[in-house]
Amino acid sequence: MRFELYVAARYLKAKRRQAVVGVVTGISVAGVTAGVAALIIALAITTGMQRDLQDKLLGFTAHIQLMQVEARGIRDWEPLVKRLSHLPHVVAASPGLFEPVLAARGARSGGAMIEGVLPDDERNVSDLLSTASPGAVNILEPQPASASTQSEELPPIILGSDLAQTIGAAAGDSVLVVSPQGEMTPLGEVPKYVRFRLAGTFHSGFYQYDDEMGFLRLADAQRLFDEPDLVSIISFKVDDPNRAPEIAHTIEQAAGPGYMTNNWMEQNRELFSALKEEQIVTFIIIALIVIVAALNILIALTMMVMEKTRDIAVMMSFGVSPDQVRRIFLFQGILISVVGTALGLVLGYIASWAGGHYHFIHLSAEVYSIDTLPFAPRAIHGVIVAAASIGISLLATLYPSSSAARVLPAEALRYE
């Protein structure tokens, strides 16, 4: 071990005449530990929020959506779906008919975005129906053309779990759906009222979907909205979601003039930009804890220089150079920082792992869109936090170490 490092370690371990120096040193280590642990946990939470939202968005929404620019919907959609589903990088395609409606049971009601789908195709594009009640999706399967429409009393509908709770409906109950695309009468357009049987609910954990979405058979939706052989969009799942804008351009060109596309990145650009900015701001704010701990290191080393002035003078009189004295106190600050940083990293990663594994922190889904606080610790965050912590602490050691190097042996030992 180098001489300077050996002396620095002995100074930290030795009992001091002034106990306050030891207390301040301990507070410095604790401060660095708390700051580093807080930074790791905060970065794990913001990264987890971003990852969880992105995973759910990619799982529960289509990567790309194709729609017509001016027309109300896409007619003769079946050959178009078959043709576009064979394009490179396209994994699956599904038609859908979207319309806003009012879902009600008795006196309780709630707004919903109802989508008419072909369940098999929709499950290839989105995982939303996979979270539905057991057997509910099978009831939603299209009926053969030869089957009698009178064989079932009411057509089936699947609603989000929060929406079903809002209107007080359970599986098997009758749900009234009111469509603004009504019928023309001598008194004007009258909303269309159709009753459905609640086949089941789905629960994605994503509040916007659970509180606002519902599914019908595509044929039932076309009858409800008086739009035979019409779909609003064609949804696509691709093999690389990160290349969605590029693949969307290819789909748009293959579809021909009059069509436009939208992708999951464009739809959620503001959300992910806000999360990234939140992560940066969180890092800056919580880094103030490390800065306060660095100030404690500065105070502790300054007090130690005052306490060890005679020892410094004796070492200099035996030939220790001012540069070696400076390095002794630099190593002291680095040791305090390294110990605190190491303890903080261990505590931070343990807390992040426990939070991500046990999900013991619950959130209000109405506010945060997710029901549990996600944690996603990353190794790169530990490297960044450790470098920042040690760097800030090193800056705090510059003044006391320089002061120690300027001690004059003759002046310090004059009255000894």
Q: pTM score, two decimals?
A: 0.71
10-residue mean pLDDT series, the chain (416 residues): 79 65 82 92 89 82 90 87 93 92 91 92 91 87 58 82 93 90 66 90 86 92 86 94 93 92 88 83 85 87 84 85 89 91 96 88 69 87 93 90 85 66
User: Token pair for residue 208?
Assistant: 């916007």
Q: What is the reported pLDDT for 268? A: 84
Encoded tokens for 200: 């089941």
pLDDT value of residue 124: 92
> How much is the pLDDT for 151?
47
